[in-house]
Structure 1
Amino acid sequence: MDIEILEGYNHEMGIEMLADGFVASAISHGARCSMVLYERNVKNAVKVLDFPLEYRMGDVWNMRVKVDDIKALKTMEYAFFDGEHIFADPCGKSFSGRDAWGKLDQVHNQKRSPLYQEDFDWEGDKPLHRSESETILYRLHVRGFTKSASSKCVQRGTFAGIVEKIDYLQTLGITAIDLMPCQEFEEIMMPDRRDPYGNDLPTGKINYWGYTRACHYAPKASFSKKRPRNAVNEMKTLVKEMHRAGIEVIVEFYFDGSEIQTYVLGALRYWVREFHLDGIHITGRAPLELIAQDPYLKRTKIIAQYYPQDIDRSGHLSTFNDNFLVDMRKFLKGDEGMLERVMFHVQDRQGGIWPIHYMADVRGFSLQDMVSYDIKHNEANGEDNRDGSDYNYSWNCGAEGVSRKKGVLNLRKKQIKNALLLLFLSQGIPCIVAGDEFGQSRKGNNNAYCQDNEISWIDWKLSHKNEELLKFVQKLIAFRKAHRAFCAKEAPRLMDFKGYGKPDISYHGVNVWQPRTEHWRRQLGVLYFGKYNEDQSIYVLYNMHWESHKFDLPHPETNQKWHVVIDTTQENGFLPLPLPVGAAISMPPRSIKILVSQEAFNLVKVTKVPKRKKLLTIEDGNMKS
């Protein structure tokens, strides 16, 4: 193969293939830079191409490589050389050398990128562009979601394994998945202090979560099946199949702040363009203002912990932080002085930025552990239980950890249902972590960053053991979808702005139209007036006190009565038939009830998607196949 080196500049860092060769761009601070070519699966280089000094611009080295046999490049891989060290292309689109997850003997392998990427047929696929008001987020770890043998997946722990669970996700009712970092990161943890002689040895821990430096352009090779190994096309297949099922795909990116801004924007644009992402979830330190204002990303959902105060609030931005979790967990366990915060979260829309709400995240206690542990139990992390937050805002319901006491277990079940109602009845975007819908426990570990085992892997046997909870979540998601009051496109105004006679949303105490927020009160009523959403009126009653309280009810519409449809004191949560009530109702300790007008609880069906297996429906509060 004859090679000719010419002047050429790339629009982005890395490699751009041409009909007769390629253009290469690399960043190097040294006096020279070279491109090292390898044959696939061959250790030694077959060619070293020096970047011409005259094509250097600042610290960016450029060249165009023209060849007479383009087919010869299809089996080649490359890395860069700065005169002292061979280094991987940070903008490589995929990598070899890290194919096996957690394999210690590959930690010193040279990461190399193929010059060519295989073609992929998208079959007309495009991002779904679903409204934030319709979004129900499901957060998962690519490996942990199906790695357990209990998943019964063929391709466990991979992008393909998630595809095998699409029918489950459809039945659950979620509308988007949020994948934890799945770019090419180093999961084998090395010492913080490097050996000056280069004799670094692994610490023995695995960075399971992926919050570390990464090559952000490339999907993680070890998250793809072994044969044939093609992480890029496997990730694309995941997105295409999710879109076919009506589910959006959001991917989390962690940046540690050392990356240059053009690299960050380039990586995000590349994933949105090449992988048809519906959203990007930013964690760590990144140029959020530039990302939010980037015209290429204006129709892409962007999620971050916080934004600058003067950011353009154009509607595609969402926040992901613990504010909702902290306040609602405090209210759930009966802390004083929380009613005003609860009232805020029930209707909060943050002036154009959509808040994402959750009662549990991967960092911290799971939903089951939130009602099972008072303190963290991180001994398995090997840091003498010093790591992880000491503030969990949890309550173990009377016994620490696993318990056989019937009273404790029943209270925990009720508190989980209470927590789920607090989540799904609030404005904003609800988010649940994979496994929380059927009681996944992490054994009290609130910082399972290094637990690549049953502590973090989803135990799918729980979906059968705790089927009652799973069905409650399915019904609750369907209930939210059926009643726009909880997911309206327009933010509530808390006033009668259309002259219907009542506000769109109003707050009440044990006496109607008299919300009382003294620090010792734990009772709240929320009335959603149906005319504002062309729906029946809905009244939600919260009693987080450890004693019963009697609530007066607002007058229903003419010729209608209030009916109880959800009661967290009941075993199934949803009543088999709506229960009519009079002018007042008794609320047992630590309970939530939902009342609707006489015609409120009609047939609700989970959206059916063609070419998929059986879906569940909800009719009169009962799950049916």
Structure 2
Amino acid sequence: MRLTAGTPSRLGASWDGRGTNFALFSANAEKVELCLFDGQGRRELERVELPERTEDVWHGYLNDVSPGQLYGYRVHGPYHPEHGHRFNANKLLLDPYARRLAGRLVWSDAHFGYRAGSSREDLSFDRRDNARGMPKAVVVDETFNWGRREMRPNIAWEDTIIYEAHVRGLTQKRDDVPPGLRGTYGGLASPAMIDHLKRLGVTTIELLPIHGLIDDRALVERKLVNYWGYNTLAFFAPEARYALDNPLDAFRTTVARLHDAGIEVMLDVVYNHTAEGNHLGPTLSFRGIDNASYYWLKPDNRRFYDDFTGCGSSVNLAHPRVLQMVMDSLRYWVEVCHVDGFRFDLATTLARGPNGYDRNAAFLTAVRQDPVLATVKLVAEPWDLGMGGYQVGAFPSQWSEWNDRYRSAIRRYWSGEGSLIGEISSRMTASSDLFHHDNRATRAGINHITVHDGFTLADLFSYNEKHNEANGEDNRDGSSHNHSTNCGHEGPTDDAAIVALRRQLRKNQLACLMLAQGTPLVLAGDEVGNSQNGNNNAYCQDNEIGWVGWDNLGKEGEDLTDFIGHLTGLRRRFGQIRCQRWLDGRRADGSYGVLWLTPAAEEMKESDWKFPEGRFLSYVLGPMEQGQEPIFIVLNAAPEEIAFKLPKMTNYKSWHEVLNTTENPAATPDFAAGADMKAPPRSVLAFAGSA
């Protein structure tokens, strides 16, 4: 028989070498039809009603369907938005478990379940067929030859240095990447890029979303695209726009080559909302399959969505089948694609229950016990836009979290704000006030100065105001609170003093990032002074605004690649920076974890922390084990030179300068303990103790 019941045990389209099993969850559907298309996705060849329903999974097995077959679903059921149901069998729907997409979404009013423009969508059911403009799912063969050499690098958390990058933006303007590979998965693993990553000393590349996505209609009408990719429609399919041919194999080949180079691959994943938007959005997949199950709906009016994300809707992981989809997706990327970790966008939404964020939510509990996810890195963006959404420090011990408190404090400090040395001391020592609880380690905080969202490092010291006019939203989008400084001139300048100051401040920020305890994250392009011309929200700029500009690569003074390489080398040399144990002060036996010192090299008292407008901070991180060197760190954010003494420490007679961020650092001989020194204006210094 051609059509049999098949199995509900594996959702999606599963080819077994002889035929394909199709399974789709919908608790409220009345009938599910599988639609098979020709190789171009233009003509619907056949509709097959799935014959069985088991625990709300509709399923069937076709013994003549093989890899390459294009398909979609039509799901029958009630169209009652006021009750949360938005079924419309006139709309072809994408399989939530699609492993590959064929074609792009071509926008038209036919994609909406109601007559677009109607004031009441529940009164205007739309009967137009949208199949011609819909991407189709593709049956795939998941087998792949990883080769004998491929092994996950398994970088320890204490050694991890993350490099956040966009697949296209990283290599699109890189001349030493072959033209055919620029902007693709393959470009990430080109010899030139691997060599660059190794020079930097980073261990882990974190990719902005690569799950199958669509471009918002409003952006397309403005001739823009959803460049960053936070508009997911397919949680199992690598985005095809970054591949020359088969995106799944192209991505896995890239992972294998990066692993061969000892570099981990993390994915930024967006499970908090989908591309379907709010109640007036299109019906493309989840909304038409089972709206009431997949999304958080307003309990008092189920026509509308509970929107914790700012994107119109929120995915309901409190539902067991929706949770299953997310967990299946995560395991798929680990087991089938060998990724090494995930950064979860707006992670608070994933852990919401009826009463808000819940540290024991179903999602966090499922992750905690999962043996596959126990082997990878998990990073939360610990906030969303809902009530009680800011949860920095509140995730379980298995997780690390983006530490925006580090970003804010360190930006304010180097932009010239005083009276911050107390907070800076905490941010430079793993933010124990936020993360030192529940057996968490210092790696809990992901320190960052810049990320995709906001100013680049160069723009942070070139602009006082955002300049997002190219986005077509009258400069209303993007944050207006950037803690930036233009150093006396808005935008580019030929003033040598301003150029030098900006370069100095960039180096100071990078130095603090690598000398701080916690896990550092570097934004791609910051090493070469990449600018977005003051645009702090380049989410729609798939062009030279959003791409990394490599013009300064190799340019003396502007290319900080080797400077960062030196900093990552210091981080490897001084284990107390990477140590996963929390620091303490002076111990009974005279040893110490950290000593906070005045410019006179005396241990700081309460009054010293309250020094008016204080901008100078110095401290020693003591050896954590036998034979380890202490490191003395000096941060001078003052606009003037400040005199200080090198500390006198038991067993250490001299100090050797290992870092000086000034433009023309002096020679670096050994200095006697107790020697008088001067910290140049706006500088970071570091010294290693010598016996």
TM class, shorter-length: 0.7 to 0.9
Mapped contact 2:164–2:205 kept (Cα < 8 A): yes
Among 379, 391, 395, which residue is 1:303 paired with? Answer: 379
Question: Aligned AA for 1:502?
Answer: S
Residue pair 1:292, 1:312 contacting (<8 A) in 2 also: no
TM superposition shift of 1:76: 1.9
Deviation at 1:577, TM superposition (A): 4.0
Amino acid at match of 2:631: I
Taking a change above 3 Å as real, the CA distance of residues 152 and 269 of structure 1, as seen in their structure-2 partners, is: closer
Query: What is the aligned partner in structure 1 of residue 689 from structure 2?
Result: 597
Cα 1:489–1:107, aligned 2, differ >3 Å: closer, same or farther?
A: farther
Please give the secondary structure, in 1, of the residue aligned with 2:493.
coil
Which of residues 197, 204, 208 is equivalent to 1:169?
197
Q: 365, 382, 386: which one pairs with 2:455?
A: 365
- With 231-240 and 378-387 compared, the bigger mean Cα shift is at 378-387
- The separation in 2 between residues aligned to 1:89 and 1:576, in whole angstroms, is 64
Please tell me whether residue 242 in structure 1 is matched to residue 258 in structure 2. Answer: yes
Q: Give CA-to-partner distance per residue, 1:555-602, whole Å, 9 cap, x none.
A: 14446312222112233x6x6644535522112221121112247xxx
Alignment check: 8 A CA contact 2:516 2:577 kept: yes
Q: C-alpha displacement at 1:457, in angstroms?
A: 0.7
Aligned amino acid, residue 144 of structure 1: G
Name the counterpart of 2:172. Answer: 147
1:336 is paired with a residue of what secondary structure? coil
Q: Which amino acid aligns with 1:172?
A: L
Structure 1: which 5+ residue stretches go unaligned?
Answer: 101-105, 193-200, 600-625
- The structure 1 residue matched to 2:409, chosen from 313, 327, 334, is 327
2:654 to 561, 570, 590: 561
8 Å Cα contact 1:289/1:308 also seen in 2: no
Match of 1:258 in 2: 315
Q: In structure 2, what is the Cα distance between the partners aligned to 1:373 and 1:548?
A: 25
Instruction: Look up the equivalent residue of 1:135 and give its one-letter code.
Output: T
Shift of 1:308: 8.5
CA distance in 2, matches of 1:30, 1:202: 34
2:630 matches 1:537: yes
Query: Which of 641, 646, 664 matches 1:548?
Result: 641
Say if 1:424 and 1:11 are closer, same or farther in 2 by CA, change over 3 A.
same
Counterpart CA distance in 2 for 1:126 and 1:562 is 41
Counterpart of 2:454 in 1: which secondary structure? coil
Q: Which residue of 1 aligns with 2:103?
A: 97
Q: Map residues 167-566 of structure 1 onto 2, 5 A cutoff.
A: 167-186=195-214, 188-191=215-218, 202-225=221-244, 229-255=245-271, 256=273, 257-258=314-315, 260-284=322-346, 285-287=349-351, 289-290=364-365, 292-295=367-370, 296-306=372-382, 311-314=395-398, 317-348=399-430, 350-351=435-436, 352=440, 354-465=444-555, 466=557, 468-496=559-587, 499=589, 501-511=590-600, 512-514=602-604, 516-518=608-610, 519-530=612-623, 532=625, 534-558=627-651, 560-566=653-659
Distance in 1 (alpha carbons) for counterparts of 2:131 and 2:542: 17
Comparing 23-32 and 340-349, the one that deviates more:
23-32
Is 2:148 the counterpart of 1:73?
no
- Check 1:533–1:568 CA distance in 2 against 1; reply closer, same or farther (3 A cut): farther
The structure-2 alpha-carbon separation of the partners of 1:342 and 1:385, relative to structure 1 and needing over 3 Å to count, comes to same
Counterpart contact for 2:199–2:562, Cα < 8 Å: no
Aligned-residue offset at 1:404:
0.9
Contact 2:100–2:139 (CA under 8 A) maintained in structure 1 = no
Contact 1:10/1:25 (8 A) holds in 2: yes
Percent of counterpart pairs with the same letter?
Answer: 28
Question: Residue 159 in 1 paired to residue 185 in 2?
Answer: yes
Shift in Å, 1:544: 1.0
Aligned residue runs from structure 1 range 79-118, under 5 A:
79-82=72-75, 83-98=89-104, 109-117=133-141
Native 8 Å contact 2:513 2:520 kept in 1: yes
Give the equivalent residue in structure 2 for 1:64. 61
The letter for the 2-side match of 1:297 is L
Residue deviations 1:485-539 (CA, integer Å, cap 9, x gap):
2111323233437x3x231211112132125211521111110223536322211
Q: Which moved more, 1:230-239 or 1:459-468?
A: 459-468
Contact (CA 8 Å) 1:548, 1:587: kept in 2 or not? yes
Q: CA deviation at 1:258?
A: 2.2
How many residues were matched structurally?
Answer: 568
Q: Give me the whole-angstrom Cα distance separating, in 1, the residues matched to 2:463 and 2:683.
A: 20
Q: Match of 2:217, SS?
A: coil
CA change 1:274–1:576 in 2 (3 A) is farther
Q: Report the 3-state secondary structure (helix = DSSP H, G, I; strand = E; otherwise coil) of the residue aligned with 1:464.
A: coil
Q: Is the 8 A contact 1:189 1:204 kept in 2?
A: no
Distance change (3 Å), C-alpha of 1:576 and 1:274: farther
Instruction: Give the whole-Å Cα distance in 2 for the aligned partners of 1:181 and 1:175.
Output: 19
Q: Deviations over 1:215-248 (max 9, x none)?
A: 11000011112xxx11101111111111111111
| 8 Å Cα contact 1:485/1:533 also seen in 2 | no
**3-state SS of 2:101 partner:** coil
Determine if contact 1:565/1:579 at 8 Å carries over to the other structure: no
Contact 2:162–2:202, Cα closer than 8 Å, also in 1: yes
Paired residue type of 1:23: N
Aligned mates of 2:217, 2:381 — CA distance in 1:
28
Q: Is the 8 A contact 1:556 1:562 kept in 2?
A: no
CA distance in 1: counterparts of 2:132 and 2:523, whole angstroms: 34
TM-score by length of 2: 0.78
Q: Is residue 136 of structure 1 aligned with residue 161 of structure 2?
A: yes
Change (3 A) 1:445 1:274: same
**Contact 2:656 / 2:668 at 8 angstroms: preserved in 1?**
no
3-state DSSP of counterpart to 1:33: strand
Tell me, what secondary structure is at the counterpart of 2:72? strand
Q: Write the distance in 2 (CA, Å) between the matches of 1:311 and 1:454.
A: 37
How has the CA–CA distance of structure 1 residues 117 and 243 changed in structure 2, closer, same or farther, with 3 Å as cutoff?
same
- Measured in 2, the distance between the counterparts of 1:107 and 1:133 equals 50
Letter paired with 1:250: M
355-364 or 58-67: which moved more?
A: 58-67
* Change in CA separation of 1:309 and 1:141 when aligned onto 2, cut-off 3 Å: closer
Task: Tell me which moved more, 469-478 or 421-430.
Answer: 469-478
**2: CA distance between counterparts of 1:10 and 1:496?**
61
C-alpha distance in structure 2 between counterparts of 1:399 and 1:446, whole Å: 18
- The answer to whether residue 11 in structure 2 is matched with residue 13 in structure 1 is yes
Contact 2:618 2:634 in 1 (8 A): yes
Distance 1:560 1:10 in 2: 72
Is 1:121–2:121 an aligned residue pair?
A: no
Letter in 2 for 1:160: G
Q: CA deviation at 1:272?
A: 1.2
SS at match of 2:397: coil
Deviates further, 250-259 or 172-181 = 250-259
Distance 1:8 1:559, change over 3 A: closer
For residue 86 of structure 1, give the secondary structure of its aligned residue in structure 2.
Answer: coil
The more displaced of 387-396 and 32-41 is: 32-41
Distance 1:253 1:108 in 2: 29
